[in-house]
Every structure is written in C-alpha cells, then in structure tokens.
Amino acid sequence: MNGVFSLWPSQASAHSVQVDTLLGAFFVLIILLSAPVFVLIVVFAVRYRRGRAADRRHPVNQKVGLEISWTLIPFLLVLGFYVWATSLYFDLYRPPADALEIDAVGKQWMWKFQHPGGQREIDELHVPVGQPVRLAMASQDVIHSLYIPALRIKQDVLPGRYTTIWFTADRPGEFRLHCAEFCGTDHSIMGGRFIAMEPADYTAWLERADVDLSLAAQGEILFRTHGCSGCHGPAATVHAPPLEDLYGKPVPLQDGSVVTADEQYIRDSILLPQAQIAAGYPPIMPTFQNVLGEEEVLKLVAYIKSRSGTRWSDRQ
C-alpha cells in the first residue's frame, strides 16, 4: 500500500504534483514574508532594550517608496498565488471531452461506484492509467465528501444534487479513499481503495466482472417497467417532452427561463417534476421521489444520455 507510513501522501496524478508544488512555494513565500518580521523583533529587542532618548524637534523622514514597496510587493506575490490556486481549482471542473464517466453514490457508510458497462463496486474504484475520469456523484442520505489523497482531490457529495470532479491517474498503484465529511456513527470506517491500473489490465478487469447489461441498458429496463415509455416513447399518445437528443440542449420553461438539460435537470425532472415544467407541456408528470433510489436514477440518466448524440463535454 503506497503512502500508508509516510507523512505525505503519494502522488498519483499530474494534479497532485501541481498541488504539492503550490503548497511548497506558498510555504516558502510565507517564510520569506514573515522571517524578516521575527528577525527584526529580536534585533530591536536586543539593540533597544535599555531605551534611548529621542530627538523630537524635527519630524521623522518619511520614505514613501520603502513603505509602498513593502506593502505592494507582498500583495502582488499573494495575488499571484491566488491566481495560481484558482486556476488549479477551475481545472478540476473542466474535464476533457474523452473523459470516462463513472457514477458514485455515497451512503452511510459506504461508497458505490458504477461503470458505464454496468460494472459495480463497493468501497473500491478501479480506473485506467492515462485516461481522464469524470465522477458524477450523489448522496443517498446525508452529506459525504469523497477524498482521494494520492490525487489531491476532495469533493462534497450532497443529497438531492449532483456534484462532479475529474482526474487522470498517471501511475498504477493502490491508494486509499476516504469520506472527509463527518456523516454519522461509522464515519471513520467509510473508506476504501482507489486502484489505478494499466489500460490492458483495466480492460481485463472489466471483462471479468459478471455483468449482463450496461448502465444505459439497465436504465432502459427501468424506463419501461416504471411506465416512462408510455408518455415519452415514440408511440406515446400523451403530450410529453421527447427525450431524443435532449441531453446537453437548452430547455425553455413555462416561467420564461431557459435551462440546460444536464444530469441535474434530468434527475430533478424525475424526482421533482413540478419544479421546472417544460414550456408547452402540461404538468402531469408524477414524482418518483419515493419510488426510485439514487442508483436507479443514475441508470435512468445514463439511458437518457445514451439517446442523445450530444456528450456532456460538448456543452463546455
């Protein structure tokens, strides 16, 4: 196990290297800015410990340039670090177009991961090295926070809302993942393993998994068994919004606003159908809030996304 006995977590991505570089450089900056203050405190305490009579007949010479410089230079340096850190933060929410999409559900007290091919994991996440991975996450109960120290990423996982984050593992290995938000009695044991594999090994792992249907195919079964096709199917007689090519497109609402049909909108349309009613359609959609769990909703979202020729990345 990498990084178990070290004081600093292992690095398993380019982002983790950048974060460590930022922290190291910021530590050096703090030393450079604070050391002169503490050194001068000691020097002045020793030099002027007995006091000295001051000549106050003339005003003290003001060195405006010096005063401006010791204020402006630290300000610009700290501002530069702010821009640096902000750029790293925003990079976490701009995944590449070819990112592998994996769904994650936090539940007291475990992590559930679902791969596009239908493979499911509990408290383990297998990913290929060198392939960008985008995690779409939701909570089934309370607030959780997915934390993978080797990647230097942490993202809150919220009930009733999807959150996302992405990464690219750049070396194979086995690392720890944790819940970084106190979520109840057994919060301390809500963890697992993050396993980065060579692409060929990852493909072989996927093939060994006992899966009959992909995530989208499982969503299609739910779509039909829960009667969704009766309104949204091509042969439906009910006046309901079509789902073909819906994902990623703008949707006009009855209140005059326009939203994007992303994962959150689709989820809310299933569980909270009266919250955002599409323009031109009657508010007859029933709620499935007490019928479907988060994992089933993710399958339905995957199915609706599969019916669209637009990937999520095309919206960026």
Q: For the chain, which residues make up each domain, given as ranges?
A: 1-46+62-210, 215-315
What average pLDDT score do residues 185-196 get? 94
Q: Evaluate if residue 3 carries a pLDDT over 50.
A: no
Angle at alpha carbon of residue 261, lines to 259 and 262, rounded to 5°: 110
**Is residue 101 a contact partner of residue 116, using CB atoms and an 8 Å limit?**
yes
Share of the chain above pLDDT 90, in %: 44
CATH of domain 1-46+62-210: 2.60.40.420
Please give the backbone phi and psi of residue 22, each rounded to the nearest 5 degrees, phi first.
-60, -45
Q: What is the pLDDT of residues 261-276, one digit of tens each?
A: 888 888 988 888 888 8
Which one is predicted more confidently, 50 or 175? 175
pLDDT band for position 79 (cuts 50, 70, 90): very high
Fold match between 1-46+62-210 and 215-315?
A: no
Residue that has been written with the tokens 């690219």 in this structure: 168
Please give the backbone phi and psi of residue 123, each rounded to the nearest 5 degrees, phi first.
60, 20
Q: Edge-to-edge, what's the strand order for the sheet holding 144-148?
A: 124-128, 191-197, 173-179, 144-148, 153-157
Q: What is the pairing mode between strands 173-179 and 144-148?
A: antiparallel
pLDDT (0 to 100) of residue 18 = 93
For residue 70, cis peptide bond before it (omega within 30 degrees of 0): no
**Is residue 221 a contact partner of residue 213, using CB atoms and an 8 Å limit?**
yes
For domain 215-315, the CATH architecture is Orthogonal Bundle (1.10)
Q: Evaluate if residue 56 carries a pLDDT over 70.
A: no
- Cα 124 to its chain centre, rounded Å, is 17
pLDDT (0 to 100) of residue 310 = 46
Angle at alpha carbon of residue 163, lines to 161 and 167, rounded to 5°: 165
What average pLDDT score do residues 160-167 get? 91
pTM of the model: 0.78
Q: Let me know how many helices (H) and strands (E) the chain has, helices first.
A: 7, 12
